[in-house]
Chain A
Amino acid sequence: MIRFVDVHKSYRVDGRDIPALQPFSLDIADGEVFGIIGLSGAGKSTLIRLINLLERPSGGSIFVGDTEMTALAEPALRAQRRRIGMIFQHFNLLASQTVADNVAFPMRLAGERNTAVLRTRVDELLARVGLTAHADKYPSQLSGGQKQRVGIARALANRPSILLCDEATSALDPQTTASVLELLAEINRELKLTIVLITHEMDVVRRVCDRVAVLDAGVIVEHGAVADVFLHPQHATTRRFVNEALPEEAASELAPFAQVPGRILRLSFRGDTTLTPALGRVARETGIDFNILAGRIDRIKDLPYGQLTLAMQGAGVDAALAALREASIEIEELSR
Protein backbone atom coordinates (compact mmCIF):
# COMPACT_ATOMS: atom_id res chain seq x y z
CA MET A 1 0.00 0.00 0.00
CA ILE A 2 1.25 3.44 -0.91
CA ARG A 3 -0.48 6.17 1.03
CA PHE A 4 -0.26 9.93 0.63
CA VAL A 5 -1.67 11.89 3.56
CA ASP A 6 -2.24 15.63 3.06
CA VAL A 7 0.81 15.85 0.84
CA HIS A 8 1.67 19.03 -0.98
CA LYS A 9 4.72 20.26 -2.82
CA SER A 10 5.96 23.63 -3.92
CA TYR A 11 9.25 24.75 -5.39
CA ARG A 12 11.14 27.81 -4.29
CA VAL A 13 12.00 29.87 -7.34
CA ASP A 14 13.65 33.27 -6.91
CA GLY A 15 12.46 33.49 -3.32
CA ARG A 16 8.84 32.70 -4.16
CA ASP A 17 6.99 29.44 -3.56
CA ILE A 18 5.57 28.06 -6.77
CA PRO A 19 3.00 25.34 -5.98
CA ALA A 20 3.52 22.13 -7.97
CA LEU A 21 1.01 19.89 -6.21
CA GLN A 22 -1.97 21.10 -4.20
CA PRO A 23 -2.67 19.21 -0.93
CA PHE A 24 -4.00 15.74 -1.68
CA SER A 25 -4.47 12.32 -0.11
CA LEU A 26 -4.38 9.13 -2.12
CA ASP A 27 -4.12 5.39 -1.54
CA ILE A 28 -2.62 2.95 -4.01
CA ALA A 29 -3.40 -0.69 -3.23
CA ASP A 30 -0.94 -3.59 -3.29
CA GLY A 31 -0.77 -5.37 -6.61
CA GLU A 32 -2.68 -2.81 -8.66
CA VAL A 33 -1.53 -0.89 -11.69
CA PHE A 34 -2.19 2.74 -10.88
CA GLY A 35 -1.98 5.35 -13.60
CA ILE A 36 -1.47 9.06 -13.17
CA ILE A 37 -2.34 10.99 -16.29
CA GLY A 38 -1.77 14.66 -16.94
CA LEU A 39 -0.36 17.14 -19.41
CA SER A 40 3.27 18.13 -19.09
CA GLY A 41 3.66 20.52 -16.20
CA ALA A 42 0.64 19.10 -14.39
CA GLY A 43 2.89 17.75 -11.63
CA LYS A 44 2.87 14.04 -12.43
CA SER A 45 6.69 13.64 -12.46
CA THR A 46 6.79 15.34 -9.08
CA LEU A 47 4.04 13.08 -7.77
CA ILE A 48 5.73 9.83 -8.78
CA ARG A 49 9.07 11.02 -7.35
CA LEU A 50 7.44 11.64 -3.99
CA ILE A 51 7.00 7.88 -3.57
CA ASN A 52 10.74 7.15 -3.40
CA LEU A 53 11.47 10.63 -2.12
CA LEU A 54 13.55 11.74 -5.08
CA GLU A 55 11.37 14.78 -4.40
CA ARG A 56 10.66 15.72 -0.79
CA PRO A 57 7.13 16.94 -0.08
CA SER A 58 6.73 20.42 1.36
CA GLY A 59 4.21 18.96 3.82
CA GLY A 60 2.29 15.80 4.66
CA SER A 61 3.38 12.18 5.00
CA ILE A 62 4.01 9.40 2.56
CA PHE A 63 3.80 5.74 3.56
CA VAL A 64 5.05 2.73 1.64
CA GLY A 65 3.67 -0.32 3.41
CA ASP A 66 4.07 0.43 7.09
CA THR A 67 7.09 2.64 6.57
CA GLU A 68 6.69 6.39 6.77
CA MET A 69 9.12 7.37 4.01
CA THR A 70 9.06 11.03 4.99
CA ALA A 71 10.34 10.17 8.48
CA LEU A 72 13.38 8.15 7.36
CA ALA A 73 16.98 9.23 7.75
CA GLU A 74 19.29 8.94 4.72
CA PRO A 75 20.66 5.37 5.22
CA ALA A 76 17.21 3.90 5.99
CA LEU A 77 15.78 5.76 3.00
CA ARG A 78 18.46 4.23 0.73
CA ALA A 79 17.53 0.77 2.00
CA GLN A 80 13.84 1.46 1.27
CA ARG A 81 14.62 2.75 -2.20
CA ARG A 82 16.17 -0.62 -3.03
CA ARG A 83 12.69 -2.10 -2.52
CA ILE A 84 11.21 0.28 -5.12
CA GLY A 85 12.18 -0.17 -8.76
CA MET A 86 11.97 2.71 -11.21
CA ILE A 87 12.11 3.02 -14.99
CA PHE A 88 12.43 6.22 -16.99
CA GLN A 89 11.39 7.85 -20.23
CA HIS A 90 14.99 8.09 -21.40
CA PHE A 91 16.00 4.74 -19.85
CA ASN A 92 18.96 6.24 -17.92
CA LEU A 93 21.24 3.25 -18.40
CA LEU A 94 24.97 3.41 -17.71
CA ALA A 95 26.54 3.92 -21.12
CA SER A 96 29.90 2.63 -19.88
CA GLN A 97 28.53 -0.73 -18.75
CA THR A 98 27.23 -3.76 -20.65
CA VAL A 99 23.60 -4.81 -20.49
CA ALA A 100 24.47 -7.53 -17.95
CA ASP A 101 26.42 -5.07 -15.76
CA ASN A 102 23.57 -2.56 -15.93
CA VAL A 103 21.16 -5.20 -14.68
CA ALA A 104 23.59 -6.32 -11.97
CA PHE A 105 24.23 -2.71 -10.89
CA PRO A 106 21.46 -2.35 -8.27
CA MET A 107 22.47 -5.68 -6.74
CA ARG A 108 26.09 -4.55 -6.53
CA LEU A 109 24.95 -1.28 -4.94
CA ALA A 110 23.09 -3.37 -2.37
CA GLY A 111 26.36 -5.15 -1.56
CA GLU A 112 26.05 -8.40 -3.53
CA ARG A 113 29.58 -9.51 -4.46
CA ASN A 114 29.13 -13.16 -5.35
CA THR A 115 29.59 -13.35 -9.14
CA ALA A 116 27.74 -16.67 -9.43
CA VAL A 117 24.70 -15.23 -7.63
CA LEU A 118 24.85 -12.10 -9.79
CA ARG A 119 25.15 -14.05 -13.01
CA THR A 120 22.24 -16.37 -12.21
CA ARG A 121 19.97 -13.47 -11.34
CA VAL A 122 21.01 -11.44 -14.39
CA ASP A 123 20.34 -14.43 -16.68
CA GLU A 124 16.95 -14.90 -15.07
CA LEU A 125 16.04 -11.22 -15.51
CA LEU A 126 17.29 -10.98 -19.08
CA ALA A 127 15.28 -14.10 -19.93
CA ARG A 128 12.17 -12.49 -18.46
CA VAL A 129 12.54 -9.37 -20.63
CA GLY A 130 13.65 -11.38 -23.68
CA LEU A 131 17.19 -10.02 -24.00
CA THR A 132 19.29 -13.08 -23.22
CA ALA A 133 21.20 -12.72 -26.48
CA HIS A 134 22.17 -9.11 -25.74
CA ALA A 135 23.86 -9.53 -22.35
CA ASP A 136 27.30 -8.41 -23.52
CA LYS A 137 26.20 -5.49 -25.68
CA TYR A 138 26.38 -1.86 -24.65
CA PRO A 139 23.22 0.28 -24.38
CA SER A 140 24.23 2.32 -27.45
CA GLN A 141 23.92 -0.86 -29.52
CA LEU A 142 20.27 -1.40 -28.56
CA SER A 143 16.97 -0.01 -29.85
CA GLY A 144 14.73 2.12 -27.63
CA GLY A 145 12.43 -0.77 -26.79
CA GLN A 146 15.38 -2.99 -25.89
CA LYS A 147 16.85 -0.25 -23.70
CA GLN A 148 13.57 0.02 -21.82
CA ARG A 149 13.58 -3.75 -21.34
CA VAL A 150 17.05 -3.47 -19.82
CA GLY A 151 15.63 -0.70 -17.62
CA ILE A 152 12.83 -3.02 -16.52
CA ALA A 153 15.23 -5.91 -15.81
CA ARG A 154 17.41 -3.53 -13.78
CA ALA A 155 14.41 -2.22 -11.85
CA LEU A 156 13.39 -5.78 -10.94
CA ALA A 157 16.87 -6.90 -9.88
CA ASN A 158 16.44 -6.40 -6.14
CA ARG A 159 12.96 -7.99 -6.17
CA PRO A 160 11.08 -4.79 -5.39
CA SER A 161 7.44 -4.73 -4.33
CA ILE A 162 6.75 -1.53 -6.26
CA LEU A 163 7.68 -0.45 -9.76
CA LEU A 164 7.53 3.25 -10.68
CA CYS A 165 7.27 4.04 -14.40
CA ASP A 166 8.15 7.60 -15.35
CA GLU A 167 6.70 8.09 -18.87
CA ALA A 168 8.23 4.71 -19.67
CA THR A 169 6.76 4.45 -23.15
CA SER A 170 6.71 8.11 -24.21
CA ALA A 171 9.94 7.85 -26.19
CA LEU A 172 8.86 4.66 -28.00
CA ASP A 173 6.93 4.03 -31.20
CA PRO A 174 3.38 2.56 -30.96
CA GLN A 175 4.38 -1.06 -31.58
CA THR A 176 7.24 -0.98 -29.09
CA THR A 177 4.94 0.78 -26.63
CA ALA A 178 2.46 -2.07 -26.94
CA SER A 179 5.09 -4.72 -26.28
CA VAL A 180 6.57 -2.86 -23.30
CA LEU A 181 3.08 -2.37 -21.82
CA GLU A 182 2.40 -6.07 -22.31
CA LEU A 183 5.61 -6.86 -20.44
CA LEU A 184 4.59 -4.54 -17.59
CA ALA A 185 1.15 -6.17 -17.37
CA GLU A 186 2.79 -9.60 -17.32
CA ILE A 187 5.15 -8.55 -14.53
CA ASN A 188 2.24 -7.14 -12.56
CA ARG A 189 0.33 -10.41 -12.93
CA GLU A 190 3.14 -12.84 -12.29
CA LEU A 191 5.17 -11.03 -9.64
CA LYS A 192 2.18 -9.38 -7.92
CA LEU A 193 4.08 -6.15 -8.20
CA THR A 194 2.38 -2.81 -7.56
CA ILE A 195 2.96 -0.55 -10.57
CA VAL A 196 2.57 3.22 -10.52
CA LEU A 197 2.92 4.82 -13.91
CA ILE A 198 2.67 8.35 -15.18
CA THR A 199 1.76 9.14 -18.75
CA HIS A 200 0.10 11.71 -20.95
CA GLU A 201 -1.58 9.05 -23.08
CA MET A 202 -5.01 7.71 -22.14
CA ASP A 203 -4.34 4.69 -24.29
CA VAL A 204 -1.54 3.59 -21.95
CA VAL A 205 -3.95 3.90 -19.03
CA ARG A 206 -6.67 1.96 -20.87
CA ARG A 207 -4.35 -0.91 -21.72
CA VAL A 208 -2.69 -1.63 -18.40
CA CYS A 209 -4.11 0.36 -15.50
CA ASP A 210 -6.66 -0.75 -12.92
CA ARG A 211 -7.18 2.70 -11.47
CA VAL A 212 -6.26 6.15 -12.65
CA ALA A 213 -5.89 9.65 -11.23
CA VAL A 214 -6.21 12.63 -13.53
CA LEU A 215 -3.89 15.48 -12.66
CA ASP A 216 -4.54 19.00 -13.86
CA ALA A 217 -2.31 21.92 -12.83
CA GLY A 218 -1.27 20.25 -9.57
CA VAL A 219 -4.75 19.08 -8.60
CA ILE A 220 -6.12 15.53 -8.79
CA VAL A 221 -9.40 16.38 -10.52
CA GLU A 222 -10.71 12.86 -10.82
CA HIS A 223 -9.71 9.37 -9.78
CA GLY A 224 -11.21 5.93 -9.76
CA ALA A 225 -11.42 2.64 -11.64
CA VAL A 226 -10.23 3.08 -15.22
CA ALA A 227 -13.54 1.80 -16.65
CA ASP A 228 -15.51 4.41 -14.66
CA VAL A 229 -13.23 7.28 -15.55
CA PHE A 230 -12.90 6.17 -19.14
CA LEU A 231 -16.59 5.56 -19.82
CA HIS A 232 -17.92 8.43 -17.75
CA PRO A 233 -15.31 11.16 -17.58
CA GLN A 234 -16.49 13.99 -15.31
CA HIS A 235 -13.83 16.65 -15.64
CA ALA A 236 -13.05 18.58 -18.81
CA THR A 237 -9.39 17.51 -18.74
CA THR A 238 -10.39 13.86 -18.41
CA ARG A 239 -12.78 14.20 -21.35
CA ARG A 240 -9.98 15.64 -23.43
CA PHE A 241 -7.74 12.67 -22.64
CA VAL A 242 -10.53 10.19 -23.36
CA ASN A 243 -11.33 11.90 -26.63
CA GLU A 244 -7.71 11.73 -27.67
CA ALA A 245 -7.78 7.99 -27.11
CA LEU A 246 -11.06 7.65 -29.02
CA PRO A 247 -11.01 10.14 -31.89
CA GLU A 248 -14.12 8.70 -33.58
CA GLU A 249 -16.07 8.99 -30.33
CA ALA A 250 -15.04 12.61 -30.02
CA ALA A 251 -16.31 13.29 -33.49
CA SER A 252 -19.66 11.67 -32.73
CA GLU A 253 -20.12 13.80 -29.66
CA LEU A 254 -19.55 16.92 -31.67
CA ALA A 255 -21.71 15.87 -34.60
CA PRO A 256 -25.13 17.46 -34.57
CA PHE A 257 -27.81 14.81 -34.12
CA ALA A 258 -30.48 17.52 -34.12
CA GLN A 259 -32.10 16.28 -37.30
CA VAL A 260 -32.12 12.68 -36.07
CA PRO A 261 -35.58 11.79 -34.75
CA GLY A 262 -35.93 10.17 -31.35
CA ARG A 263 -34.03 10.38 -28.07
CA ILE A 264 -30.27 10.32 -28.30
CA LEU A 265 -28.79 7.96 -25.73
CA ARG A 266 -25.39 6.59 -24.92
CA LEU A 267 -25.31 3.03 -23.68
CA SER A 268 -22.22 1.61 -21.94
CA PHE A 269 -21.73 -2.12 -21.60
CA ARG A 270 -18.99 -3.54 -19.43
CA GLY A 271 -17.67 -6.97 -18.82
CA ASP A 272 -20.22 -9.74 -19.32
CA THR A 273 -23.05 -7.42 -20.45
CA THR A 274 -20.98 -6.64 -23.53
CA LEU A 275 -21.45 -10.23 -24.59
CA THR A 276 -25.23 -10.56 -24.00
CA PRO A 277 -27.84 -9.75 -26.65
CA ALA A 278 -29.66 -7.38 -24.26
CA LEU A 279 -30.35 -4.58 -26.71
CA GLY A 280 -32.07 -6.81 -29.28
CA ARG A 281 -34.14 -8.56 -26.64
CA VAL A 282 -35.32 -5.31 -25.04
CA ALA A 283 -36.20 -3.78 -28.41
CA ARG A 284 -38.30 -6.82 -29.29
CA GLU A 285 -40.08 -6.87 -25.94
CA THR A 286 -40.87 -3.15 -25.82
CA GLY A 287 -41.49 -2.56 -29.50
CA ILE A 288 -39.08 0.37 -29.82
CA ASP A 289 -36.99 1.28 -32.82
CA PHE A 290 -33.38 2.21 -32.54
CA ASN A 291 -30.79 3.57 -34.85
CA ILE A 292 -27.05 3.25 -34.07
CA LEU A 293 -25.25 6.56 -34.60
CA ALA A 294 -21.82 5.66 -33.27
CA GLY A 295 -20.25 2.82 -31.42
CA ARG A 296 -17.19 1.05 -30.26
CA ILE A 297 -16.31 -2.25 -28.70
CA ASP A 298 -12.90 -2.64 -27.10
CA ARG A 299 -11.12 -3.63 -23.91
CA ILE A 300 -10.09 -1.72 -20.84
CA LYS A 301 -7.19 -3.82 -19.62
CA ASP A 302 -8.90 -7.25 -19.42
CA LEU A 303 -12.44 -5.90 -19.30
CA PRO A 304 -14.42 -5.92 -22.53
CA TYR A 305 -16.62 -2.87 -22.96
CA GLY A 306 -18.91 -1.41 -25.52
CA GLN A 307 -20.31 2.04 -25.96
CA LEU A 308 -23.13 2.81 -28.39
CA THR A 309 -24.75 6.11 -29.23
CA LEU A 310 -28.35 5.43 -30.26
CA ALA A 311 -31.45 7.25 -31.35
CA MET A 312 -34.52 5.54 -29.84
CA GLN A 313 -38.09 5.97 -30.98
CA GLY A 314 -41.45 4.55 -29.96
CA ALA A 315 -43.93 4.51 -27.12
CA GLY A 316 -41.96 2.05 -25.06
CA VAL A 317 -38.68 3.99 -24.74
CA ASP A 318 -38.99 4.53 -21.00
CA ALA A 319 -39.82 0.90 -20.42
CA ALA A 320 -36.89 -0.08 -22.65
CA LEU A 321 -34.50 2.11 -20.67
CA ALA A 322 -35.70 0.58 -17.42
CA ALA A 323 -35.21 -2.91 -18.84
CA LEU A 324 -31.72 -2.04 -20.08
CA ARG A 325 -30.75 -0.63 -16.69
CA GLU A 326 -32.08 -3.87 -15.24
CA ALA A 327 -29.57 -5.69 -17.44
CA SER A 328 -26.76 -3.50 -15.92
CA ILE A 329 -26.30 -1.35 -18.98
CA GLU A 330 -25.39 2.23 -18.14
CA ILE A 331 -27.40 4.89 -19.94
CA GLU A 332 -26.75 8.56 -20.47
CA GLU A 333 -29.27 10.79 -22.16
CA LEU A 334 -27.51 13.07 -24.62
CA SER A 335 -30.64 14.92 -25.83
CA ARG A 336 -34.07 15.93 -24.57
Chain B
Amino acid sequence: MNMLQTLFPNIDDWGEIGRACIDTLLMLGGSLALSIAIGLPLGVLLYLTGKGQLRPMPKLYAIASLLVNILRSVPFIILMIVLMPVTYFLVGTKLGIRGAIPPLVIGAAPFFARLVETALREVQQGVIEASQAMGASLWQIVRHVLLPEARGGLFAGVTVTAIALVGYTAMGGAIGSGGLGDLAYRYGYLSYKSDYMLVTVALLIVLVQLLQMLGDRIVTRYKRH
Protein backbone atom coordinates (compact mmCIF):
# COMPACT_ATOMS: atom_id res chain seq x y z
CA MET B 1 0.00 0.00 0.00
CA ASN B 2 2.91 2.30 0.78
CA MET B 3 4.42 1.80 -2.60
CA LEU B 4 1.07 2.61 -4.24
CA GLN B 5 0.94 5.80 -2.20
CA THR B 6 4.38 6.93 -3.29
CA LEU B 7 3.70 6.07 -6.91
CA PHE B 8 0.20 7.57 -7.03
CA PRO B 9 0.13 10.27 -4.30
CA ASN B 10 -3.24 11.75 -5.35
CA ILE B 11 -5.21 8.55 -5.36
CA ASP B 12 -6.67 8.19 -1.88
CA ASP B 13 -9.67 6.05 -2.79
CA TRP B 14 -8.81 2.98 -4.90
CA GLY B 15 -12.36 1.82 -4.34
CA GLU B 16 -13.54 4.69 -6.52
CA ILE B 17 -11.39 3.39 -9.36
CA GLY B 18 -12.81 -0.09 -8.83
CA ARG B 19 -16.36 1.27 -8.99
CA ALA B 20 -15.48 3.23 -12.12
CA CYS B 21 -14.16 0.02 -13.68
CA ILE B 22 -17.39 -1.77 -12.92
CA ASP B 23 -19.41 1.16 -14.30
CA THR B 24 -17.41 1.05 -17.53
CA LEU B 25 -17.91 -2.70 -17.82
CA LEU B 26 -21.65 -2.33 -17.17
CA MET B 27 -21.99 0.40 -19.79
CA LEU B 28 -19.95 -1.68 -22.20
CA GLY B 29 -21.86 -4.90 -21.58
CA GLY B 30 -25.29 -3.30 -21.71
CA SER B 31 -24.64 -1.19 -24.77
CA LEU B 32 -22.84 -4.00 -26.62
CA ALA B 33 -25.73 -6.42 -26.04
CA LEU B 34 -28.26 -3.85 -27.25
CA SER B 35 -26.07 -2.79 -30.19
CA ILE B 36 -25.90 -6.41 -31.34
CA ALA B 37 -29.64 -6.87 -30.79
CA ILE B 38 -30.37 -3.86 -33.01
CA GLY B 39 -27.37 -3.93 -35.36
CA LEU B 40 -27.60 -7.60 -36.35
CA PRO B 41 -31.15 -7.43 -37.79
CA LEU B 42 -30.35 -4.05 -39.32
CA GLY B 43 -27.22 -5.49 -40.94
CA VAL B 44 -29.18 -8.47 -42.27
CA LEU B 45 -31.78 -6.04 -43.67
CA LEU B 46 -29.05 -3.99 -45.36
CA TYR B 47 -27.56 -7.15 -46.83
CA LEU B 48 -30.81 -8.68 -48.08
CA THR B 49 -32.20 -5.50 -49.63
CA GLY B 50 -28.92 -4.52 -51.31
CA LYS B 51 -28.52 -4.50 -55.08
CA GLY B 52 -28.38 -7.98 -56.59
CA GLN B 53 -29.02 -9.69 -53.25
CA LEU B 54 -31.81 -12.01 -52.16
CA ARG B 55 -34.54 -9.37 -51.73
CA PRO B 56 -33.37 -6.25 -53.53
CA MET B 57 -35.44 -3.25 -52.44
CA PRO B 58 -33.59 -0.15 -53.62
CA LYS B 59 -35.75 2.37 -51.73
CA LEU B 60 -35.69 0.57 -48.39
CA TYR B 61 -31.97 -0.01 -48.78
CA ALA B 62 -31.37 3.66 -49.58
CA ILE B 63 -33.32 4.81 -46.51
CA ALA B 64 -31.68 2.33 -44.13
CA SER B 65 -28.29 3.10 -45.59
CA LEU B 66 -28.77 6.86 -45.25
CA LEU B 67 -29.90 6.51 -41.63
CA VAL B 68 -26.86 4.39 -40.81
CA ASN B 69 -24.53 6.84 -42.54
CA ILE B 70 -26.01 9.86 -40.75
CA LEU B 71 -25.62 8.23 -37.34
CA ARG B 72 -22.10 7.13 -38.20
CA SER B 73 -20.98 10.53 -39.45
CA VAL B 74 -21.87 12.43 -36.25
CA PRO B 75 -18.94 12.41 -33.80
CA PHE B 76 -19.99 10.45 -30.74
CA ILE B 77 -19.60 13.31 -28.27
CA ILE B 78 -21.91 15.50 -30.38
CA LEU B 79 -24.34 12.62 -30.86
CA MET B 80 -24.53 12.22 -27.11
CA ILE B 81 -25.41 15.89 -26.58
CA VAL B 82 -27.88 15.99 -29.46
CA LEU B 83 -29.57 12.85 -28.17
CA MET B 84 -30.03 14.12 -24.61
CA PRO B 85 -33.79 14.74 -24.95
CA VAL B 86 -34.23 11.31 -26.54
CA THR B 87 -32.17 9.74 -23.76
CA TYR B 88 -34.27 11.46 -21.13
CA PHE B 89 -37.43 10.28 -22.85
CA LEU B 90 -36.17 6.69 -23.08
CA VAL B 91 -34.63 6.11 -19.64
CA GLY B 92 -35.75 9.09 -17.55
CA THR B 93 -32.25 10.46 -16.93
CA LYS B 94 -29.39 11.97 -18.90
CA LEU B 95 -26.74 10.88 -16.43
CA GLY B 96 -25.00 7.78 -15.15
CA ILE B 97 -24.89 4.34 -16.70
CA ARG B 98 -28.56 4.41 -17.68
CA GLY B 99 -28.19 7.79 -19.32
CA ALA B 100 -25.13 6.62 -21.25
CA ILE B 101 -26.63 3.51 -22.77
CA PRO B 102 -29.09 5.03 -25.33
CA PRO B 103 -26.48 7.22 -27.05
CA LEU B 104 -23.91 4.39 -26.92
CA VAL B 105 -26.35 2.04 -28.62
CA ILE B 106 -27.51 4.61 -31.15
CA GLY B 107 -23.86 5.31 -31.94
CA ALA B 108 -22.67 1.71 -32.11
CA ALA B 109 -25.62 -0.20 -33.59
CA PRO B 110 -25.36 1.37 -37.09
CA PHE B 111 -21.61 0.82 -37.00
CA PHE B 112 -22.12 -2.84 -36.13
CA ALA B 113 -24.87 -3.13 -38.78
CA ARG B 114 -22.36 -2.12 -41.48
CA LEU B 115 -19.88 -4.69 -40.21
CA VAL B 116 -22.63 -7.34 -40.31
CA GLU B 117 -23.50 -6.36 -43.89
CA THR B 118 -19.84 -6.64 -44.92
CA ALA B 119 -19.42 -10.00 -43.16
CA LEU B 120 -22.54 -11.41 -44.85
CA ARG B 121 -21.30 -10.28 -48.26
CA GLU B 122 -18.26 -12.48 -47.71
CA VAL B 123 -20.48 -15.58 -47.77
CA GLN B 124 -20.05 -17.35 -51.12
CA GLN B 125 -22.94 -16.77 -53.51
CA GLY B 126 -22.70 -20.42 -54.53
CA VAL B 127 -23.57 -21.63 -51.03
CA ILE B 128 -26.66 -19.42 -51.02
CA GLU B 129 -27.62 -20.68 -54.47
CA ALA B 130 -27.16 -24.27 -53.30
CA SER B 131 -29.52 -23.75 -50.38
CA GLN B 132 -32.08 -22.11 -52.67
CA ALA B 133 -31.82 -25.17 -54.90
CA MET B 134 -32.51 -27.31 -51.82
CA GLY B 135 -35.75 -25.42 -51.29
CA ALA B 136 -34.65 -23.24 -48.36
CA SER B 137 -36.88 -20.29 -47.47
CA LEU B 138 -35.44 -16.81 -46.97
CA TRP B 139 -35.57 -17.20 -43.19
CA GLN B 140 -33.87 -20.62 -43.38
CA ILE B 141 -31.12 -19.13 -45.54
CA VAL B 142 -30.53 -16.30 -43.05
CA ARG B 143 -30.71 -18.52 -39.98
CA HIS B 144 -28.95 -21.66 -41.21
CA VAL B 145 -26.65 -20.45 -43.98
CA LEU B 146 -25.76 -16.76 -43.83
CA LEU B 147 -25.27 -16.31 -40.09
CA PRO B 148 -23.38 -19.57 -39.42
CA GLU B 149 -21.20 -19.18 -42.52
CA ALA B 150 -20.36 -15.58 -41.64
CA ARG B 151 -19.81 -16.16 -37.94
CA GLY B 152 -16.04 -15.56 -38.10
CA GLY B 153 -16.64 -12.12 -39.62
CA LEU B 154 -19.54 -11.46 -37.25
CA PHE B 155 -17.40 -12.14 -34.17
CA ALA B 156 -14.67 -9.93 -35.60
CA GLY B 157 -17.34 -7.22 -35.96
CA VAL B 158 -18.46 -7.69 -32.35
CA THR B 159 -14.84 -7.28 -31.22
CA VAL B 160 -14.33 -4.09 -33.22
CA THR B 161 -17.65 -2.71 -31.95
CA ALA B 162 -16.82 -3.56 -28.33
CA ILE B 163 -13.51 -1.72 -28.61
CA ALA B 164 -15.17 1.28 -30.24
CA LEU B 165 -17.67 1.25 -27.38
CA VAL B 166 -14.84 1.39 -24.80
CA GLY B 167 -13.76 4.61 -26.49
CA TYR B 168 -17.34 5.92 -26.53
CA THR B 169 -17.87 5.19 -22.82
CA ALA B 170 -14.70 7.11 -22.02
CA MET B 171 -15.98 10.09 -24.04
CA GLY B 172 -19.29 9.79 -22.26
CA GLY B 173 -17.42 10.42 -19.03
CA ALA B 174 -16.91 14.01 -20.09
CA ILE B 175 -20.62 14.72 -19.91
CA GLY B 176 -21.50 12.86 -16.78
CA SER B 177 -21.98 9.23 -17.62
CA GLY B 178 -19.51 7.89 -15.04
CA GLY B 179 -16.95 5.15 -15.47
CA LEU B 180 -13.23 5.33 -16.15
CA GLY B 181 -13.59 8.17 -18.65
CA ASP B 182 -15.34 10.27 -16.02
CA LEU B 183 -12.47 9.68 -13.54
CA ALA B 184 -9.83 10.53 -16.10
CA TYR B 185 -11.70 13.68 -17.07
CA ARG B 186 -12.58 14.94 -13.59
CA TYR B 187 -9.37 14.12 -11.72
CA GLY B 188 -6.85 13.83 -14.51
CA TYR B 189 -7.93 16.72 -16.71
CA LEU B 190 -9.86 19.18 -14.51
CA SER B 191 -7.81 18.70 -11.29
CA TYR B 192 -4.38 18.00 -12.80
CA LYS B 193 -4.05 14.70 -10.93
CA SER B 194 -2.03 13.00 -13.61
CA ASP B 195 -1.69 9.75 -11.66
CA TYR B 196 -5.46 9.25 -12.03
CA MET B 197 -5.07 9.78 -15.74
CA LEU B 198 -2.25 7.23 -15.88
CA VAL B 199 -4.15 4.54 -13.98
CA THR B 200 -7.37 4.96 -15.97
CA VAL B 201 -5.52 4.94 -19.28
CA ALA B 202 -3.64 1.81 -18.21
CA LEU B 203 -6.90 0.13 -17.25
CA LEU B 204 -8.50 1.10 -20.57
CA ILE B 205 -5.52 -0.34 -22.46
CA VAL B 206 -5.78 -3.59 -20.51
CA LEU B 207 -9.52 -3.75 -21.23
CA VAL B 208 -9.06 -3.20 -24.95
CA GLN B 209 -6.25 -5.76 -25.05
CA LEU B 210 -8.39 -8.35 -23.30
CA LEU B 211 -11.31 -7.72 -25.65
CA GLN B 212 -9.10 -8.03 -28.71
CA MET B 213 -7.47 -11.22 -27.47
CA LEU B 214 -10.81 -12.80 -26.63
CA GLY B 215 -12.26 -11.72 -29.97
CA ASP B 216 -9.27 -13.03 -31.93
CA ARG B 217 -9.46 -16.34 -30.15
CA ILE B 218 -13.13 -16.81 -31.02
CA VAL B 219 -12.61 -15.70 -34.61
CA THR B 220 -9.68 -18.09 -35.18
CA ARG B 221 -11.70 -20.92 -33.70
CA TYR B 222 -14.43 -20.40 -36.29
CA LYS B 223 -12.14 -19.45 -39.16
CA ARG B 224 -10.38 -22.78 -38.92
CA HIS B 225 -13.24 -24.51 -40.70
Interface residues of A (CB under 8 A from B): 52, 54, 78-82, 84, 86, 88, 90, 92-97, 105-106, 108-110, 138-140, 154, 158, 164
Contacts and interface: CB of A to CB of B under 8 A. Distances in A.
B130 A96 contact: no
6 contacts: A80-B135, A81-B135, A90-B124, A93-B130, A96-B225, A109-B136
A94 B145 contact: yes
Interface residues of B, number: 21
Interface string B126-140: 110111111111001
Contact of A84 (B127, B133, B222): B133
B41 interface: no
Given A90-B126, A109-B131, A96 B222 contact: yes
B124 A82 contact: no
A158 B134 CA distance: 9
Contact of A92 (B124, B144, B151, B225): B124
Given A78-B137, A81-B135, A105-B144, 4 more contacts: A52-B133, A79-B135, A88-B126, A96-B222
B132 to A, nearest CB: 6
B151 A81 contact: no
A192 B121 CA distance: 39
Given A94-B145, A96-B225, A54 B127 contact: no
A139 B126 CA distance: 15
B148 interface: yes
Contacts of A78: 135-137
Contacts of B151: 96
A188 to B, nearest CB: 19
A84 to B, nearest CB: 7
Contacts of A139: 225
A95 B149 CA distance: 7
Contact of A86 (B130, B149, B222): B130
A109 B140 contact: yes
Contacts of B136: 78, 109
